[in-house]
Amino acid sequence: MLANWAVRLRLHDLKPVYHGETGIRMLRELARSYLTVVKDLFGVMNRLKALYRSWAIPCAGRDVYYTRHRSQWLEGIPEAGTRRRAEQLHEQLDMLQHLRQQARRELWTYSVLGLETRDSGEYHYVHGQVRRRKKQATIRGLNNCVWIGFVALGRAM
């Protein structure tokens, strides 16, 4: 049976068949959105470091990206136009980090990689009986180890 399929495949005798909507398109698009935002984020990070290096400001590590050190880094650029460009790159970085978190949350939730957590605090006693609180349980994401494996799958799409 398998040999028959192999021969038909080699002769281009197989025709595509519509199998209906499988529901994977939404997952694929969410993964692509996430990967695009991550790619843009890394591009902005590289441009920011390149800008500081062009002024001979050493910027090893990740401190250059943090908001708490931002004013110190910007003070190192003496030219106002270049400083403004660095400020814009920092603004883009902040926006893309927010978009990345939002895209990751949507992807996790849609792909059922979000975890529903429960704790003993959501139960309480009412007139001697255990009742569940009305507050909804929160959805939490997985750790980066599992997420890296999922992103690798998403790139194959």
Return the pLDDT at 141: 53
Question: At 125, phi and psi to the nearest 5?
Answer: -95, 135
| Average pLDDT estimate for 68-83 | 93
Mean pLDDT score of the chain, rounded to an integer?
A: 80
Residue 33 binned pLDDT confidence (cut-offs 50, 70, 90): very high
Residue 13 binned pLDDT confidence (cut-offs 50, 70, 90): confident
Task: Say how far apart CA 98 and CA 147 lie, in whole Å.
Answer: 18
- Which of 27-31, 60-64, 84-88, 114-118: highest mean pLDDT? 84-88
Mapping DSSP onto H, E and C, the string for the chain reads CHHHHHHHHHCCCCCCCCCCCCCHHHHHHHHHHHHHHHHHHHHHHHHHHHHHHHCCCCCCCCHHHCHHHHHHHHHCCCCHHHHHHHHHHHHHHHHHHHHHHHHHHHHHHHCCCCEECCCHHHEEEECCEEEECCCCCCEECCCHHHHHHHHHHHHCC
Contacts of 38 (CB under 8 A, 6+ apart): 100, 151
Q: At what angle are helices 144-155 and 24-54 packed, to 10 degrees?
A: 100
| Average pLDDT estimate for 103-123 | 72
Question: How far is CA 83 from its chain centroid?
Answer: 29
Question: How far is CA 14 from its chain centroid?
Answer: 38
Task: Say how far apart CA 78 and CA 57 lie, in whole Å.
Answer: 11
Tokens representing residue 131 in the block: 């009742």
User: Which neighbouring-strand residues pair with 115?
Assistant: 140
| Average pLDDT estimate for 53-74 | 92
Residue 108 binned pLDDT confidence (cut-offs 50, 70, 90): confident
Return the pLDDT at 87: 96
Tokens representing residue 56 in the block: 């001979």
pLDDT for 42 beyond 90: yes
Residue 98 binned pLDDT confidence (cut-offs 50, 70, 90): very high
pLDDT for 57 beyond 70: yes
Residue 18 binned pLDDT confidence (cut-offs 50, 70, 90): low
Percent of the chain with pLDDT over 90: 44
